[in-house]
Each structure stands twice: as C-alpha cells, then as structure tokens.
Structure 1
Amino acid sequence: MRALGKFEPAVQGFAAAISAGATGAPVLVALGNCLAELGRLEEATTWFARAAPDDPSGRALANLASARARLGQNALAIDAARAALRCSPELIDAHRTLAVLLAGSEPESAAAHREVAFRNGPVFVRPGPQDALRVLVLTCLAEASLPIEHLLPNARYALTDWFIDHPVNHLPHLPPHDLVFNAIGEAELMPPLDGATIGFLAGGLPVMNRPEAVMRTGRTSLPALLAGIDGLVVPPVLRVAAGEIPVSIGLPALVRPVGTHGGHGLRRVETAEQLTAASHEAGDKYLSRFIDYRSDDGYYRKYRMIFVDRQVYPYHLAIGPHWMVHYWTAGMDLDPARRAEEARFLDDPVTVLGSAAFEAVSAVGRRLDLDYAGIDFSILPDGRVLVFEANAAMLVHPEREAEFAYRNQAVQRILDAFADMLERRAGRGDHRAPAGDPAEVTQRPRSLAR
C-alpha cells in the first residue's frame, strides 16, 4: 500500500502489524513515513522517536529531524539531524536539514552540510506510477518553496526535484519530463538564474509559475503590480535597513522582519518614537501602514482564496478577536458560529463577499498571471478589498480534524483544478486521480518551507 501511494490503508496495516508484535525499527519508521505523508507530523515524530534507539542506521533520526523542521521545531530538528549523522555521517536528508536550519546562525557549517547533501548533484528523481505525468519541479534549499505533497502527489506523478540554487558549472542531466512546475513561491528568496537555466526555461516545454512572474509578487512590488484594480486597497510597503528612518509610512504602522513568515516578529507600532526604535533594530524589515479592518461585531476576518490557472477558488476564512489573524490561533475550533460563517463563504463566496469584491479578487488573479497562487485579504466597512499579500507560496491541504471536515470539499476543488490544469498543459485532457493520495517524499531531500 505504501509503495502504491495509498497511505491511509498503509497506516492501518503498519499499525495492525505493530499491534501483532512487529515492533522493529523498520516497521516503526515506515509507519512514521506514512503519517508524515498524510500531514500528521506530530504522530510521525512519535514513531520516529520510538524507532530511533533501535535504528543504528540513523534513518529514524533523520526523518525525525525532517518532521520537526516541517513543524517549525528548529532546535529539536537540529539536535535530531546531528544525532543522525553520528550514526551515519553520509545521510543526505540530515545534511540537508542542517544546511537549511543553520544557514542563518552557522553559515559556514551550513555550507559544509550543503556540499555533502548535493555531492552527487542538485537533481533527485522520484519515480511515479507507470505512464504517470512527468513533472520537473524547480525548488531551492532556502525556505522559499511551496510544499507540494498535496498538489503533486508522488502516487500520481513522476517527479524530479531540481535545486536550482545549488551552483553547478553546466546544466545538470535532467530525465525526460512533460512539464515544469516552479515551486519557489517567495519572490524575495528566488535564487538568481544562470544563463543555462534561463535558456532551458525558454525551451518548448510548458513552465508553470515562471520565475519572472513570481518575482513580481514581492511585498514591496505588489502594490504597483495591483495598481488600478477597482475596489482594491494595497498599502505601500517599504523595505528599510537598520537605522533607516522612514518619513512617509504613516501611523499606526506594521513592522515585519524580512525573511519571516506566519506573523513571526510582526508587530504594530503606534507612535513615531516606537517606529524610530523599531527602525534601529538589527536586520532589514518591512514597514507598512496598518489599516483597521475590524468588523462591527468586533472580529477581524482574513479570507484566503487560491488562483489556479487564473481562476479563483475559496480556501478558508479565519475570524478572530486580534488584528493579527492566523487560522490556527484565531479560535475557530472553539466557535461553531464562526465555522458556520466560513462554511458559507466556501460554499458561496460571491454572496458572502459581494459581487464587486469578488470581481476585485478575481482581477488580482489575472494581474498576477501565475498558474498557482493565493491571496489573503479582508473586506473593509466600505466594501473594498484590503490586500495583505498575494503570492505563489500559499499552502493548500486537506483537513483531518472532524470539526473542520466541511472545508475539504473546497480543498478538493482546488486540487482537482490544479490536476486538470497540468493534464491540459501536457495535452492529456482530464484524468483525475482519487482524492487523498499525498506525495511520497519523506525519503528524498525536500523543501522545509511553510
């Protein structure tokens, strides 16, 4: 079942085997791998940790490090990866985890780990089913790539990962493929492309999310890109270096360290003195004016919609009492009324947003001109759309918790639309795969992106 990419029945089979006494490290690691493929990372770490003491190969620890990194538990991930290398110094996954996580704090060590991880080149092949669509995935070592396990499940596609930020003297050998998907979604972290790569991308094969289009979606360039769309509010964003004092950003203002995600380090400053103090802090940062988007009921609402082939699909609605709204900290799990409002949005976004706002969001998808992207926004009291960000780095995944199962129909619409787009671009028509078969990627180098 695991080899066929059918991870749910594989989990059940491994669990039954363990209950019957098959408790060796390979079985525990295999169960952890299947759980990781299903996005059940916390459960996966339990089995990897349980297997580690009886696994002299270090594979359990390497997989534990990868799962910890995906959960954002960086210190624990570093410890596990280093322990894995004490068992087997050549474990590529452990070296790659350390190359990513040590890049900021220990750049020389990170570079050494990177050299080992890519000793045999920057291309990693993941065979798929017979006659599967062959997709070349552009990715990078930096935390800039979109996790693709749900968009490009290895149970359906034959995948080749090409880490284009690893320097080589010539274009690497690439196996045959039907199309290219650029999974690097963070504009600010897009690695520079050498002439050979640029020439390759200019060839005849379809390229989804072309790098030059992604580059236009950075925080500072997005307001100009979306300028002129009726009903849209896109606050200007400045990037400032330490000690640089802005004079025209307005107050209150939002301060966000460059290179952070998920609201880490984001804060609101109310006074000129607070803004000046923030500007003198170490590191580059983004500054933008804060626009109050609270609704009459006291809640803040952040909508996310996904663009597939420039068509818009609803993904989620987070409703919370704090101005910095994130889905998993907004308290949606505690309030059936808010979940019911989200369900109405997923079922009929035009009615919930209003036709003018829906058209404004749709226009954003056309202006971005990306094959896959997303937008986070709210609706101001006057009906205009307040844009927080719009880029190609927004994750879509099914929900496992029962109270959020109502979201999965909307999720599947997005995944189906993405699969259909790839089939059309490859000239194969509509060949939909069964729902719920995530990619099998634990054993290969993968992105640690959000």
Structure 2
Amino acid sequence: MMARRSVGGAAEAQRLRRAGQNKEAETAYRAHLKANPEDADAWRGLGLALIGLNRLDDAAYCFWQALQYRPDSLPLLMQLGDLLVRAGDMKRAATVYATIIEKFPGEARAYLSLSAIQRELGEIEVSRQTLKIGLCKRPISVQSCLGAPKARILRLRGVQNAFYKVAPEGSHWLRLSGGNFSSSALWDQNQFTTINFLISDENILSHEGIPAHDIVVNSVADADLEGQSLETAARYLARNPGMPVINDPARVLESTRDNNYRRLKEVPGIRFPKSMRAEVRPDVPFDAAEFLSREGLELPVILRRTGTHTAVSTVKADSLPVVEDYFLTEGAGTHYVIEYVLSPFREDYFRKMRVFFIDGELYPVVHHVDTVWNVHGFNRTTVMAETPWMTDLEEAYLDDPAAYVGADAFAALNALPKISGLDFFGVDFDVMEDGRILIFETNPAMRHSFEHARNFPYLEPHARRITDAFQNMILSRALPAADEKPVSHASDGGRAGSA
C-alpha cells in the first residue's frame, strides 16, 4: 500500500524527534499516521518520541502497532522488550523475548535478557537454564569502536554463579551481577574493541572462531563464586602462552578471603582479621560454639556467605545465639566467620579508605566516614555531604595518600601487589592507632565508577587517573598489530594449567 502524504510528513516528524522536539514530533507523527496507519517506521518513530516524553505505556502501544505491519523485525521486537522492562511490565517483556527466541533462535542477547526477566519474576532455576541455553548458542559478543581500535581486548567473564539481572538505574537495564569486575569505566569503549566471552562450564576450551585480539583482560574476580570459571580460564590461557593477560586467573584463584588471611597475617605493618571458612551441610546440624572454639575465634564475629559483598548477608554477631540464628537462617553452604576488630575514628565514627593497584602503582579512590562500623558509600549524599570536615579529610587523602596515612602504612600497602600477584585489585582499609593498616577487604572484584563524582566533583580527576592508568596498562602490554597471532585451540588433554 502506497503511503499518502500528510501535513508535515514522516520526514518532518523524524527531524523534530531527532532535534529533541518530542511534543512537536508527536503531533507530526499522528498527523502522518492518520493518513498512513500501516507505516511501521512512523509507529516506531512515534514510540521513540513518546519515550522522550516519558510516556512509556503509550510508547509500547506504538511498538505493538509497528509489529502488526512488520512482525518479523528483530530491532522492533528488541526495542519493545527493552521498553516493557523499563516500564516495569516484566510478564509482557518475557513474552516478547520468548517470541524473539522462537523467531531468531541464534539471537544470544534475547536469552540473556529473558534470563534476567525470569529472575526478576522469581523463576531462578528457569532463569539459569535460559542463560545456559543462550551461551550454548553464542557465548561471544563484540563491542566495536567507530574508528581503528587502540587495542582489541578479549574480556573473559564467568557465569558459573554470576547471573544477568534487571538494573533499571543504569544506562542499560541488562547487567551481569556477581563474580566479575565491571570494566565500563576502566577503558573507553570508543577507543578499544572489546570481545566479550562468557565462560560457562568449559565452553571456551572447545570454542572455535574467537576473533583476533591483542590482549586478554580476565575480569573474573571472585574465586568463591567463579572458581570453576577461573580454572577454565587458566587452562585456556595455558594454551596461548604468548598472549598478554591482565589478572592471571591462577592468581585470582588465590585471592579468597581465608587465603588472604593466611598469607597476610604475619606481614609486618598489616592487620588482617582472622577469617575462617565454615561449611554447613543440609543434613548435619552446625555446632557454632564448637566451630568458634576450634578456630580460636572470640565474639563478636562478622558472618557472611562466601561470594557476597557490599554488606549482602553480612551480620555482626555479639553473642552465640546471634551466631546460631545466622546459620539457621542462612542454611547450608559456605560462609566466612571473621574476627571483628574494633577501629573507631574520632571516637564516634568509623572510616574506610580505598585504593586501587594498577600495574603495581597505588591510586587512592575514596575516604568514607560513617557512623556505623560497616562503612560503605551509601551515606555520602547525607552524612558526608553535610559535614565539611569529612570531605576535607577525603580531599587531603586523595591529594597525598602517602602523607595522610604515614610512611609505614604506605609502605605496607605497597607490599600488597607483589604478594597478590595481581595487575588490578582494590584494598579497603583503615590505619590503626599503632600505625598498622587494618585491611577490611582486598580483591579484584571492587568496582571503579564515576558515580560519586557527580555529587563530589573533587573526586573526578582522581577517578579519571584510574581510568587512564588502566588504559595505559592495556596499551603497554597489548601485542603490536604486526605480532598478532591466531588463537590456538589445541587440546591440553584435560590437564589444568596456569597462564
């Protein structure tokens, strides 16, 4: 059917929408569609204009209309699915992504999206199966930059226990959660091509056709959650010994909290709280009192399930009944039981400083002050923003961390890269009255972002230095273009190896 002319026309409506004049674009699109109701592109354009006006339900209707006339359009289906998630209509979004999988069974992103939506709907086991099926179809995705890339990065990510979730607060709602460090702020996607490989079981060991790359960034960061992924990554890299890698997976495997305690407990200048692993079986009652006595742990203790961070599942237990209640509530699995070390700051407060180490160099990140022992950044826009001395201290720390923490503490911090063997990792710590550093956490799972800098502009140049340092590490290690080698897929006979 030939489209009839309308006042303004679809081209004018599109021009208005692209200029950000969404209300005017809506009027123009509706005039055009009154004369041309079967114009799928115009229905889509109207939907995009309505998204710009935050009228998501009306926009979804427009995409449904567009699909009446172009039912096999993958872009339309994907946009509708994303829109329904943003609108909070998870059940209809799940139906759309299931339709995409039926029509386009090789479209891996649809499986990842559907698995996230199923998890949001509480269908955890179904979600895991959907993700696994999708990764069997295609475990690789490529983010290409517009021009010639400065380097082509093979980024390894593990999904042994990590999962995709709905995260509407981000720039895109689909986000991998758990087990891997985020790279969104570590290198500029407009300057580097990123080849993402999602490791599931041992799929990378038999996968053919991984695109050529200049360096591997192993972003699998949590040995408790993604131990199998790290072992598989180590075997894969052992087959390609000439390929440079950031964060050798064999060294990441050594970064569990209990192993950090074993290797740091006797290091001069460092206080690492005793950290023991408790295995709770579903068929055997857990004797908390016997465990504490056997391991030489005194109350209070900190309890949390392995593989959880950012205060998830964390409990400070001041009495044996609280310990027993924790294990009854949390149930079977592996847990950390951690010595609680009291370290108040200015009597009424607690503090946590963070540094990143990148290629052996220390970069200060934040200096949080809080009124509770479990210090995190959640209070920055309230307590810290309204307390000038707290932000003054943070600026002093960021500007000269060596002077702020003292020479001995700074030297103790700088001993950590050699001990860990990691190219990129973070440390959360305080400085005790005796000058030792009290380490709360040290691992490569910590996230770098510019989020706090939006409210605290003085953080921005320090965050930028972290990004620049990571990019420089990539460039200093990446193979020159002339030295590119194809990826080897030779069998290792099933033997474990390290990079």
Tell me the TM-score normalised to structure 1 length: 0.78
Amino acid at match of 1:274: V
Task: State which of 312, 337, 357 in structure 2 corresponds to 1:264.
Answer: 312
Amino acid at match of 2:111: H
* Counterpart mapping for 1:16-415 below 5 A: 16-18=20-22, 21=25, 51-56=59-64, 57-60=76-79, 62-63=81-82, 81-82=93-94, 84-85=96-97, 88-89=100-101, 92-99=108-115, 106-132=123-149, 133-141=151-159, 142=162, 143-168=178-203, 170-190=206-226, 191-192=228-229, 193-194=231-232, 197-198=235-236, 202-242=240-280, 243-245=286-288, 246-247=291-292, 248-281=296-329, 282-284=331-333, 285-329=335-379, 331-399=383-451, 402-415=454-467
Q: Percent identity?
A: 24
Amino acid at match of 2:340: F
Amino acid at match of 2:302: L
Amino acid at match of 2:378: W
Q: 1:111 to 1:123 in 2, by over 3 A?
A: same
Shift of 1:163: 0.9
Separation of aligned partners in 2, 1:97 and 1:422: 30
Separation of aligned partners in 2, 1:363 and 1:319: 25
Shift of 1:298: 1.3
Q: 1:345 to 1:79 in 2, by over 3 A?
A: farther
Q: 1:262 to 1:306 in 2, by over 3 A?
A: same
1:441 is matched with which residue? Answer: none
Separation of aligned partners in 1, 2:471 and 2:53: 30
The superposition leaves residues 115-165 of structure 1 with CA deviations (integer Å, 9 ceiling, x where unpaired) of: 442243211122224331100000123121111111133211111111112
Amino acid at match of 1:110: S
Separation of aligned partners in 1, 2:234 and 2:223: 21
Separation of aligned partners in 1, 2:240 and 2:462: 34
**Structure 1 residues without counterparts, runs of 5 or longer:** 1-12, 33-43, 69-75, 430-450
Q: 1:279 to 1:144 in 2, by over 3 A?
A: same
Structure showing the higher helix proportion among its residues: 2
Separation of aligned partners in 2, 1:59 and 1:329: 37
Larger Rg: 2
Amino acid at match of 1:345: Y
The superposition leaves residues 188-214 of structure 1 with CA deviations (integer Å, 9 ceiling, x where unpaired) of: 122344499435554211011011111
Separation of aligned partners in 1, 2:95 and 2:337: 40
Relative contact order, higher structure (CA 8 A, sep 6+):
1
Separation of aligned partners in 1, 2:53 and 2:432: 42
Aligned residues: 399
Q: 1:45 to 1:21 in 2, by over 3 A?
A: closer
Separation of aligned partners in 2, 1:93 and 1:374: 31
User: 1:251–1:269: 8 Å Cα contact kept in structure 2?
Assistant: yes
SS at match of 1:319: strand
Q: 1:378 to 1:401 in 2, by over 3 A?
A: closer
User: 2:214–2:480: 8 Å Cα contact kept in structure 1?
Assistant: no
- In angstroms, what is the RMSD of aligned CA positions? 3.4
Q: 1:121 to 1:234 in 2, by over 3 A?
A: same
1:444 is matched with which residue? Answer: none
Separation of aligned partners in 1, 2:444 and 2:233: 24
User: 1:58–1:83: 8 Å Cα contact kept in structure 2?
Assistant: no
Tell me the TM-score normalised to structure 2 length: 0.71
Shift of 1:296: 2.5
1:7 is matched with which residue? Answer: none
SS at match of 1:388: strand
Shift of 1:45: 13
